Amino acid sequence: MKKIHIHDVSLRDGSHAISHQLSKEQIISYCIAANNAGIATMEVGHGNGIGASSIQVGISKLTDEEMLTIAKRNLTTTKLAIHVMPGFATINKDLKKAFDWGVDLVRVACHCTEADITEKHISFARERGKEAIGALMMTHMASKETLLEEALKMQSYGAEGVVLYDSAGAYLPRDVKDKINILVANLNIPVGFHAHNNLGLAIANSLAAVECGAQIIDGAMRGFGAGAGNAQLEVLVAVLQKLEYETGISLYKVMDAAEITQEKIIQEIPTINNISIISGLSGVFSGFAKHVARIAKENELDPRDIFIELGKRKVVAGQEDLIVEVAIELKKNISTTKSK
């Protein structure tokens, strides 16, 4: 049976959905359940990764140290992972400490054309004897040739895998096939896929990736992630089981873990609302949804208009400050149209 590594992003991508307000009790219950279900690797932290708690992208309820040490204490077999974005987190301020707190694996993430900024962080993790995986985000914005070039760079820095993120939930299965195929054919390390469900395709896209040879698939319990959520982890386990792939995860126990997540952590089960559809179509990072909703309300604007405008400007994660600017401009345009 072919093996697929399911990587759990619930307590990292899901942080976006609850404005980074994970509590100590929630982390404890989740870690116990995930560990028990046989999850091999799981991320914990702020939605934008370690060192990202800020006014710009949201202040976490707990510090990175609190989140990671609590998680580590409650995991035995599951490896503790973090998401790291150079430009947000530095080796000295964040990465060194994370390893001291017991982090086993790092996803070093960057926008899909910027792989060279991950070199120092990837090599540092490897020097410390930790696992390092390269994460290319917003990959709908680049061609497959560019993605291959960038993935090869990460491989040369020592990455032990490269994962393509569909951060905006903008992929169709044919895009997945196109891009995963070329990576699988040319890299010596495992390839992965990280889906978002804006267009209702998270599971279908993950399957398309697996069929093209992807070995790492990201998922979240009940889909708990930014915007419309990620590929629903317990569904992935079920579907992969049906297709006779080995995940090492117990279906019943992962369903139990999903139940616990729903009861104790998730405020609102991710659904595909109008905003998620528009965000997927316009290719804007799902993590913008909450900020856009709030700013649209304050300015009496249609959040869909803000998303479309953001899409035109090709914004990337971390540019949340542009939302206010776009809102002010849209408002100005509306008032000039009215006064005419």
Partner 1 sequence: MLKMRKKLKVAILGTGNIGTDLLIKILRSDYLECSYFVGRNFLSKGMSKAINLGVRVSDKSIEFLKSNPKLYDLVFDATTASEHIKHAIIFKEFNKIVIDLTPAKVGKLCVPSVNLSEVIHFNNINTITCGGQASIPLAFVLGKVHPNTEYIEVISAIASKSAGPGTRANLDEYVETTEAGIIQFSKCQKAKVMLILNPAIPCIDMQTTIQATIKDPNMDLITFEINKMVANIQKYVPGYHLLVPPTYEGGRLIITVKVKGLGDYLPSYAGNLDIINCAAIAIAEEFSKAKLK
- 193 contributes a contact to partner 1 by CB under 8 A: no
- 243 contributes a contact to partner 1 by CB under 8 A: no
> Which helix (H) or strand (E) covers residue 49, if one does?
none
Shortest reach from residue 167's CB to partner 1, in Å: 13
DSSP 214-267: --EEEEBGGG-SSTT-B-BHHHHHHHHHHTTEE----HHHHHHHHHHHHHHT-S
Shortest reach from residue 318's CB to partner 1, in Å: 4
Three-state SS at 317 = coil
- Six-digit token pair at 191? 């390839």
Site string for partner 1, 103-142 (x = CB under 8 A): -------xxxxx-xx-xx--------------------xx
The residue annotated as part of the active site, out of 16, 46, 121, 194, is 16
- Six-digit token pair at 177? 């096939």
Site string for partner 1, 280-309 (x = CB under 8 A): --------------x---x-----------
Q: Which is nearer to partner 1, 269 or 324 (CB)?
A: 324
Rounded to an integer, what distance in angstroms lies between the CA atom of residue 151 and that of residue 134?
Answer: 8
DSSP letter at 202 equals H
- 331 contributes a contact to partner 1 by CB under 8 A: no
Number of residues that bind partner 1 (CB under 8 A): 36
- 324 contributes a contact to partner 1 by CB under 8 A: yes
Give residues 24-53 in contact with partner 1 (rule: CB under 8 A): 52
Shortest reach from residue 310's CB to partner 1, in Å: 11
Q: Which residue in the set 2, 24, 297, 314 belongs to the binding site for partner 1 (CB under 8 A)?
A: 314
Stretch that binds partner 1, among 29-37, 101-109, 222-230, 310-318 (CB under 8 A): 310-318
Residue 16 falls in the annotated catalytic set: yes
Per the CB < 8 A criterion, the answer to whether 237 and 5 are in contact is no
Give residue 324's identity as a one-letter amino acid code. Answer: V
Shortest reach from residue 266's CB to partner 1, in Å: 24
Of 160, 196, 19, 154, the residue nearest 79 (C-alpha): 160
Whole-angstrom Cα Rg for the chain: 19
Give residue 7's identity as a one-letter amino acid code. Answer: H
- Strands of 58-166 (E only): list them: 79-84, 105-111, 131-137, 162-165
Shortest reach from residue 265's CB to partner 1, in Å: 25
Q: Which is nearer to partner 1, 7 or 140 (CB)?
A: 140
Q: Which is nearer to partner 1, 30 or 88 (CB)?
A: 88
**328 alpha carbon, distance to own chain's centre:** 29
Rounded to an integer, what distance in angstroms lies between the CA atom of residue 61 and that of residue 129?
Answer: 30
Shortest reach from residue 134's CB to partner 1, in Å: 15
Of 185, 190, 178, the residue nearest 154 (C-alpha): 190
Q: Which is nearer to partner 1, 112 or 132 (CB)?
A: 112
Give residues 60-99 in contact with partner 1 (rule: CB under 8 A): 86-88, 90-93
Q: Which is nearer to partner 1, 147 or 266 (CB)?
A: 147
* Matching residue, tokens 């560019």: 146
Q: CA torsion sign, 244 to 248 to 10 to 192?
A: negative
Write the CB contacts of 318 (distance below 8 Å, at least 6 apart in sequence). Answer: 48, 56, 57, 85, 87, 88
- 224 contributes a contact to partner 1 by CB under 8 A: no
Q: Which residue in the set 19, 36, 54, 123 belongs to the binding site for partner 1 (CB under 8 A)?
A: 54
Catalytically annotated residues? 16
Interface with partner 1 (CB under 8 A): 52, 54-56, 86-88, 90-93, 110-114, 116-117, 119-120, 141-142, 294, 298, 313-319, 321-322, 324-325, 328
